[in-house]
Amino acid sequence: MVATHCPYCALQCAMDVAPTPDGPTVTPLEFPTNRGRLCQKGWTAADVLTASGRLTAPMVRGADGTLAPVSWEEALDRVAGELRRLRAAHGPESVAVFGGGGLTNEEAYQLGKFARVALATPNIDYNGRFCMASAAAGGRRAFGLDRGLPFPLTDLDGAEAILLVGSNPAETMPPFVTHLAGAREAGGLVIIDPRRTPTADLTQDGGGLHLAPLPGTDLVLLLGITQILWAEGLVDRGYLAERASGVDALRASLAAWWPERVERVTGVPVVQQRAAARLLAAASPARGGRGGYVLTGRGAEQHAHGTDTVTAAVNLALCLGLPGREGSGYGCLTGQGNGQGGREHGLKADQLPGYRTITDPDARAHVAGVWGVDADSLPGAGPPAVALLASLATPGGPRALLVHGANPVVSAPDVGPLTERLRALELLVVCDFVLSETAALADVVLPVTQWAEETGTMTNLEGRLLLRDEAVPPPEGVRTELWVWRELARRLDAPIDFSEDAAEVFAELARASSGGVADYTGFSHKRLRAGEALYWPCPEPGHPGTPRTFLDRFATPDGRAVLHPVDETPPDDLLDAEYPLYLVTGRVLQHYQSGAQTRRVAALNSVEPESYVELHPLLAQRLGVEAGERVGVHSRRGSCEAVARLSEGMRLDTVFMPFHYPGRGAVNRVTNPAVDPVSGMPELKVATVRLERLVDAPHSFAPAPGDAA
Amino acid sequence: MSHRIVVVGHGMVAHRFVAELLAHGLPDVTLTVLGDEPEAAYNRILLPDVLPGHLDLAGLTLPAHPGVDARAGVRATAIDRGRRVVTDDAGGEHPFDTLVLATGAAPVFPTIEGLRDSAGQPMPDVTALRSWADAQHIRAAAAEGARVVVLGGGLLGIEAAVALRRAGCAVTVIHRGGAPLDRQFDALSGRVVAASLADHGVAVLTDCRIAGIERRWNHALKSIRLTDDRRIEADLIVVAIGVEPRIELAARAELAVRRGVLVDDLCRTDDPDIHAIGDCAQTGRGCQGLVGPGWEQARVVAHHLAEKIGGRARPRPTLGFDAGVVRLKADGVDAVTMGAFPADEFGLGAPRVLGFVDAAGRRRVRIAVADGVLVGATCVGDPQIAADLTVAFDSRMPVPADPAALLARPLAGAAPAASVLDLPDEAVICRCNAVPKQAIAAAVGGGAASVPEVAEVTRATTGCGSCTNDVCRLVEALGAAPSALVTEKEGAFAVA
């Protein structure tokens, strides 16, 4: 029996994994984040280890166009040979890398290093760009540092009020909900979400307030609530004077957002705005409250102005005097298992390990020193994910792509054209443990270990480092990704060796992060095995780590938080007669991300087997759509198909679709690739669409990855 | 040579115009703004919020525009159209290539004996609420408990009255018409508003004419006498009977004026280099006196100038003209009206009109639907419906098959929640682990006698824990011994 953590979300629930004659089983463990609880994904996590369709041999696409098993030697030689050819003919930038927020810290670090040193390409980014980039940019802009929750999750327990902006943890990380109990009991849970989600339902019976703005207007709603705080004298002025800068500019930016104007833009009644403002203020320390938190999720962030929306939430928290105080604060709820660590160790196009900026000469010199290469040999910043994927197989763009821990043909926005570009690549290599929809397009598929079959660390949503030890032996024939990179680096005559030992890689990561913002210097696998609770930064060996950042000062040059004024930007997609409805996207409880894992677990897939579109019964009635009927969902990008599901928790002008499904059911065939100008994050959370009954307008769909034959 | 734009007036519309113009990023434009108030541009709409005492000038002040020569306390006195120069009250001259008049509107004071002093200025205890200075004046004059009479039961009067009430004053509104807000709202809506105001401690007297103002020997205000001889005692009078466009400057420059400065669709006066926007402008729709249309005009002029001066433009703004939503801004009294209603609901081809009045519930909702979209709506006393209707009207969202569904909406959770015992067998009790009621029943049937025992078999309650009470009730009802029940408030659960 091995104590480890769940393979899915950033809550990283603790569990034991034990081999039994019927295969491995999972038992929940007491741990501060999950408290001995698990959702259905967690309980069935071991099923992923034995999922059908597990890849156990490398596959190479032959002349007949089909993937056929080959030896590792042959597969790696083929990849290395092709890479060598492309690099020689078109330069190192002809190769691109796409990573994922599910990779361990060791893998994320090593992949970044592999790209910069073995491939010498700037073209590396990861799917965290689809989920965390705006929160990261907003946090850095205000506090000089981005750690999802700059406090332990259990701090939420004592809060009197918690504002959740665009987050649905009751479905995305169910055990998290126990940490909302105190606020609910105090009537202080405030949920901002266009849908009445299961999380919004927690505000019923006196639990708090649910504000349901028009999609894409969260920013304006936050401006409005902040303006009310000032207008009603509820701001913590003493805190602002001591700990923040930019008050005057912030106030000026709020002056034009009086409540009735906010109501007109957002659809949230003035009375609700005022109630939310008063409730949050009453909980703030300045007014004698027990403490309050402002938390953002993807609903706030996945917009073409997501960074500004995060900033508006941060500004609200600052006006209430919450961040940097024990028992209060601002945080973002990281989504992917290692969404936090993934964005710290060099998977991002513009970053080096330790959350360093790749264009900073000191950062380059330090990291190059640890790697044993010349700083001048390191490439500069590459394009962020959406731009990177858009450049594939275009003139001057990358001709080869290596994919690790991601399934972009399901998870990226506007997947129709992306699929074509992946097909047009000269070389697509996918490392995965099942034949994901992206792997199915690949020229070479490399079967790798997953979760409980390898050792590595994850940094959870609190910035706490967790060890996931190998709990079960991997199937015959699969290799770790660390091994794959070592082998490829050798074949590419890389200037340095790449270790395949996770502890060794971690020790190097710690040195590379030393002196950076996300400083792991004092962390080690050994300390984790000894049971220490370690939160970064940990700037020296023996340092206890930092459960709460910002208590004394923010990580800005002058130690003050920055109130950065922001203003309204409407969604990129506007309503018109042709596309009269808003589409919002999100998750269901039983699935995770692109569904590559969870759709292969029978217990999960039988509950949510296919894509659906949720709409209000009155909208369904107007469209003549019956519950259970298949409808077409059309946008300016493309079309998808889903089963109609009726819910009175929907706005009349908004429909919802989950994003876990491939093929015709893939909502990302219609989503908008417009990106945030600061973070490069796409507007996955709002698009305008038209719904049509399929019997009225039978649509011919181009075949797509994941379509049943 | 750079193109010189002079803006006269620095209210909300002028400020917006400058922002819109700057957003076009035109090179070689110099912008001068002359504001006659001593303060930098501020949000006039929030003035009532100043009265209860929390909002200071910084909370109203709009962002300064870098690179713009904005002068406060400078009044334009003349436009020399021949020389293309604006003169100010300090003798300064401001040459322009394009002039934008945004002089706004001034409050109208009734011609009643006792309101003005011998110089024709309002007496110290008589004021409007149109400027920061007015708001300061009222705050100084109307201490808590002061008796204030508001003349005029229109939008501005009611907004001032409610704010004064919040500031602790005893407030009476004297209105000429049969119901407050009768310029924009139907009479029934107005009566519901009046009843709601009375609930909030604001008296509204309708169908009133003022006979005179009564003062004491020291000229202090005593009471307002109505034509029916009623006397309303007062310490302060706030006048809100209307505004009139400030057109003197334009008129003296011999621009075409009527009630306001006459302008075309591009807000051009009869001099193509001179525009007028906001409350001082009279478009084909008249003088609207609302900030929304003023901002739309600001955008139109900025766009036009970007084309004219820069020879290029960003894509034309996609939002059309402001359709005119009138929203009362008064904490606790919700009233909004938009669009238009037909004079005769039974007329051939008239929009479909639906509505109800709930006098005791202080609610009134009325909508007009044509061609499948909302063309008019009025809502009093239901904030959620008001917000929903506004959004539906602005977005031209198609209405439901039966538009009556827009008139009321069941509140979430308002219906009594069905007992878990009444739910069908296949109903999911534990969402986190997709456990239906029948699985829990089967577990109890199989001997599970407590929540942890049911959890052991079904995993119900082991996710977020929200269903623990329901599972407990089921275990109880399905026959387990009550002593075996364990309700874990903390929600901790671990399988040994």
pLDDT digit string, tens, across residues A333-366: 999 999 999 889 999 999 999 999 999 999 999 9
* B43: chain A residues, CB-CB within 8 Å: 255-256, 258
Q: What is the pLDDT of residues B212-230, one digit of tens each?
A: 999 999 989 999 999 999 9
Closest residue to B387, CB basis, from A249, A267, A653 = A267
Query: Do residues B50 and B133 lie in contact, with contact meaning Cβ atoms separated by under 8 Å?
Result: no
pLDDT score, position B311: 73
- Same structural domain for residues B202 and B159? yes
Give pLDDT tens digits for B79-89: 999 999 999 99
Residue pair B472/A184 in contact by the 8 Å Cβ criterion = no
A529 three-state secondary structure:
helix
Reply yes or no on whether the pLDDT at B484 is more than 50. no
Tokens 């110089």 appear where?
A: B119
The yes-or-no verdict on residue B495 having pLDDT over 60 is no
CB contact under 8 A, B459 and A249: no
Select A581-693's CATH number: 3.30.420.40, 2.40.40.20, 3.40.50.300, 1.10.10.10.
Answer: 2.40.40.20
| Within a domain: B489 | no
Residues 23-52 of A with CB under 8 A from B: 27-30, 35-40, 43
DSSP A459-499: E-TTSEEEEE---SPPPTT-B-HHHHHHHHHHHTT-SS---
Say how many Å lie between the first and final Cα of chain B, rounded. 83
Per-residue confidence at B251, pLDDT binned at 50, 70, 90?
A: very high
Q: What number of CA atoms fall less than 13 Å from residue A689's CA on the CB side? A: 31
Give the tens place of pLDDT for each residue, A218-246.
999 999 999 999 999 999 999 999 999 99
pLDDT value of position B410: 63
- Res A501 pLDDT > 50: yes
Same domain, B64 and B157: no
Residues 6+ apart with CB under 8 A from B309: B3, B26, B29, B98
What's the total number of domains in chain B? Answer: 4
How many beta-carbon pairs under 8 angstroms link A with B?
171
Delimit the domains of chain A by residue range.
2-49, 59-131+338-448+480-501, 133-333, 581-693
Do B72 and B154 reside in the same domain of the chain?
no
Output B40-45 pairs: Cβ under 8 A, ≥24 positions apart. Answer: B40/B10, B40/B64, B40/B70, B40/B72, B41/B10, B41/B11, B41/B12, B41/B14, B41/B15, B41/B70, B42/A255, B42/B132, B43/A255, B43/A256, B43/A258, B43/B12, B44/B11, B44/B12, B44/B130, B44/B131, B45/A258, B45/B12, B45/B291, B45/B329
| A621·B401 Cβ contact <8 A | yes
- Residue B19 covered by a domain: yes
Q: What is the mean predicted confidence (pLDDT) over B468-483? A: 78
Sorting pLDDT into bands at 50, 70 and 90, what band is B413? very low
Position B315 scores a pLDDT of: 55
Instruction: Please indicate whether, in this complex, the C-beta atoms of A233 and B390 are within 8 angstroms of each other.
Output: no
Q: Is the model's pLDDT at A440 over the cut of 50?
A: yes
- Identify the residue among A1, A26, A34, A39 best suited for mutation to test binding to B, counting B beta carbons within 10 A and taking the highest: A39
Report if residue B348 sits inside a domain. yes
Q: Which of residues 178-197 of A touch B (CB under 8 A)?
A: 178, 181, 196
Residues A408, A418: contact at Cβ < 8 Å?
Answer: yes
* Closest of A705, A83, A113 to residue A442, by C-alpha: A705
Give pLDDT tens digits for A580-589. 999 999 999 9
Q: Is A269 on the interface with B (CB under 8 A)?
A: yes
From residue A559, alpha-carbon distances to A329, B37, B52, B286 in Å are 16, 38, 35, 54
Interface test with B, best of A230, A237, A568, A647 (most B CBs within 10 A): A230
pLDDT at residue number A11: 96
Chain A contact for B401 (CB, 8 A cutoff): yes
| Residue B148 near residue B235, CB atoms below 8 Å | yes
Give the CA angle between residues A130, A131, A136 to the nearest 5°. Answer: 115
Beta carbons of A252 and B392 less than 8 Å apart: no
Inter-chain residue contact B413 with A255, CB threshold 8 Å: no
Sheet of B98-101: strands edge to edge?
B69-72, B29-35, B3-8, B98-101, B274-276
Nearest to A689 by CA among A639, A619, A648, A622: A639
Task: Determine the pLDDT at residue B143.
Answer: 84
Q: Which domain holds residue B456?
A: 420-484
How far away is chain A from the Cα of B379, in angstroms, using its nearest Cα? 12
| Residue A538: C-alpha distances to residues A343, A353, A458, A514, A541 (Å) | 17, 14, 15, 9, 8
A175 interfacial to chain B (CB closer than 8 Å): yes
* pLDDT tops 80 at residue B312: no
Distance CA B162, CA B170 (A): 10
Rounded to 10 deg, the angle between the A259-266 and A218-231 helix axes is: 160
Please name the residue of chain A whose CA is at the shortest distance from the CA of residue B401. A622
The CATH number of residue B197's host domain is 3.50.50.60
State the smallest CA–CA distance between residue A500 and chain B in angstroms: 36
B236 and B135, same structural domain? yes
Residue B45 to residue A258, Cβ atoms within 8 A = yes
The pLDDT value given to residue B486: 44
B55 and B17 in one domain? yes
% of chain A surpassing 70 pLDDT: 98
A2-49: CATH class: mainly beta
Q: pLDDT tens for residues B339-389?
A: 999 999 999 999 999 999 999 999 999 999 999 999 999 999 999 999 999
Interchain CB distance below 8 Å, A175 and B492: no
Asked, as a colleague might, if the bond just before A198 is cis with ω within 30 of 0, I would say: no
Question: Per-residue pLDDT averaged across A681-692, rounded?
Answer: 96
Whether A629 contacts A70, CB under 8 Å: no
- Residue B487 pLDDT exceeds 80: no
Average pLDDT over residues A266-272: 96
pLDDT at A554 over 50: yes
Pick from A29, A196, A653: which is nearest to B395 by CB?
A: A653
Is B431–A198 a contact, with Cβ atoms under 8 angstroms apart? yes
Exposed, middle or buried, A103 (CB in 10 Å: 0-12/13-18/19+)?
buried
Local confidence band at B118 (pLDDT 50, 70, 90 cut-offs): confident
- Do B187 and B248 belong to one domain? no
Q: What is the pLDDT of residue B415?
A: 52
Of A696-700, B284-288, B472-476, give the range with the top mean pLDDT. B472-476
Same domain, B267 and B352: no
Read off the CATH number of the domain in which B447 is found: 1.10.10.1100
Q: Which two tokens stand for residue B128?
A: 């409007």
- d(CA A260, CA A283) in angstroms, rounded, equals 25
The pLDDT of residue B488 is: 42
Whether residue B344 is found in the same domain as residue B400: yes
Q: Chain-wide mean pLDDT for chain A? A: 95
Q: Chain A contacts of B381, Cβ < 8 Å? A: none
Question: Could you read off the pLDDT of A447-470 as tens digits, one per residue?
Answer: 999 999 999 999 999 999 999 999
Residue B72 lies in a domain: yes
Whether A263 sits inside 8 A of B58 (CB atoms) is no
- DSSP for A161-227, written as a single string: EEEEES--HHHHSGGGGGGGHHHHHTT-EEEE-SS--HHHHTTTTTTEEEE-PPTT-HHHHHHHHHH
Q: What pLDDT score does A248 carry?
A: 94
The verdict on B206 and B261 lying in the same domain is no
The Cα–Cα gap between A287 and A280 comes to 10
Q: Any chain B CB within 8 A of the CB of A205?
A: yes
Answer whether A174 touches B (CB < 8 Å): yes
Closest alpha carbon to A598 in A666, A662, A660, A663 = A660
Can you give the pLDDT at residue B319? Answer: 36
What pLDDT, on the 0 to 100 scale, is given for residue B322?
Answer: 56
- Determine whether the interchain pair A178/B412 forms a contact, defined as Cβ–Cβ distance below 8 Å: no
Look at A245-249, A320-324, A382-386, B419-423 and tell me which has the smallest mean pLDDT.
B419-423
Close Cβ partners of B346 (under 8 Å, ≥ 6 residues apart): none
Residues of B in contact with A174 (CB under 8 A): 431-432, 463-464
- Nearest by CB to residue B433, choosing from A40, A267, A649, is A40
Looking at the structure, tell me whether residues B444 and B475 fall in a common domain: yes
**Residue B320 predicted with pLDDT over 80:** no
Which of A27, A202, A271 is nearest residue B383 as measured by Cβ atoms? A271
The pLDDT score that the predictor gives to residue A698 is 55
The Cα–Cα gap between A59 and B306 comes to 59
Q: Which residue, among B242, B237, B213, has the nearest Cα to B126 in the 3D structure?
A: B237
Please tell me which residue of chain B has the smallest CA distance to A36.
Answer: B494
Task: Give yes or no for residue B284 having a pLDDT over 90.
Answer: no
Residue B176 has pLDDT above 90, yes or no: yes
Residue B433 contacts A, CB cutoff 8 Å = yes
Please say which residue of B406, B430, B459 terminates a domain.
B406
Residue A206 has pLDDT above 90, yes or no: yes
Q: Is the pLDDT of residue B438 over 60?
A: yes
What confidence score (pLDDT) does residue A701 get? 53
CB-CB contact of A594 with A666 (8 Å): no
Of A28, A267, A603, the CB nearest to B388: A267
Whether residue B120 lies inside any domain: the answer is no
Residues 332-351 of B with CB under 8 A from A: 332, 334
Same-domain pairing of B33 and B82: yes
Taking Cα atoms as reference points, which of A571, A568, A567 lies closest to residue A683? A571
The reported pLDDT for the residue numbered B417 is 63
For residue B290, name the pLDDT band (cuts at 50, 70, 90): confident
Provide the chain A residues 232-251 that lie in CB contact (below 8 A) with chain B. 232-234, 248-249, 251
- Percent pLDDT > 70 in chain B is 93
Give the global pTM: 0.94
Interacting residues of A355 by C-beta distance below 8 A, sequence separation 6+: A145, A146, A343, A344, A513, A516, A517, A518
Note whether B390 contacts A: Cβ–Cβ < 8 A.
Answer: yes
> Is a pLDDT exceeding 70 seen at residue A213?
yes
**B402 lies in the same domain as B439:** no
The answer as to whether B411 is a domain residue is no
Distance (Å, rounded) from C-alpha A518 to C-alpha A505?
17
Under an 8 A CB cutoff, do A202 and B387 touch?
Answer: no
What does the pLDDT read at residue A657?
98
Residue that has been written with the tokens 């060996």 in this structure: A541
Residues 18-77 of B with CB under 8 A from A: 42-43, 45-46, 49, 53-55, 58-64
B81 domain residue, yes or no:
yes
Residue to mutate among A26, A38, A195, A226, with most B CBs inside 10 A, is A38
- What pLDDT is recorded for position A131? 86
Measured CA to CA, the distance from residue A327 to residue B171 in angstroms comes to 43
At residue B309, does pLDDT exceed 90?
Answer: no
Q: What pLDDT does residue A305 have?
A: 95
In the predicted model, what is the mean pLDDT of chain B? 90
| CATH topology (fold) of A133-333 | Dimethylsulfoxide Reductase; domain 2 (3.40.228)
ipTM of the complex: 0.90
Residue B151 lies inside a defined structural domain of this protein: yes
pLDDT(B489) > 80 = no
At the top level of CATH, the class of A59-131+338-448+480-501 is alpha beta
Helices A247-254 and A218-231, interaxial angle, to 10°?
110
Residues of chain B contacting residue A274, judged by C-beta atoms under 8 Å apart: 331
Q: Are the C-beta atoms of A427 and A86 separated by less than 8 Å?
A: yes
Contacts of A577 (CB under 8 A, 6+ apart): B396
pLDDT of residue B316: 53
**For B58, how many CA atoms within 13 A lie in the half-sphere containing its CB?**
9
Asked if A619 is an interface residue toward chain B (Cβ–Cβ < 8 A), one would say yes
CATH number of the domain at B395, please.
3.30.390.30
Nearest in space to B143 (alpha carbons), one of B105, B121, B108, B170: B170
Q: Are B301 and B275 in contact (CB under 8 A)?
A: yes
Kindly report the backbone phi and psi dihedral angles of residue B231, in degrees, each rounded to the nearest multiple of 5, phi listed first: -120, 130
pLDDT greater than 50 at residue B398: yes
- For residues B464 and A231, the answer to whether their CB atoms sit within 8 Å is no
What is residue A219's predicted lDDT score, i.e. its pLDDT? 97
Task: Specify whether the CB–CB gap between A679 and A133 falls below 8 A.
Answer: yes
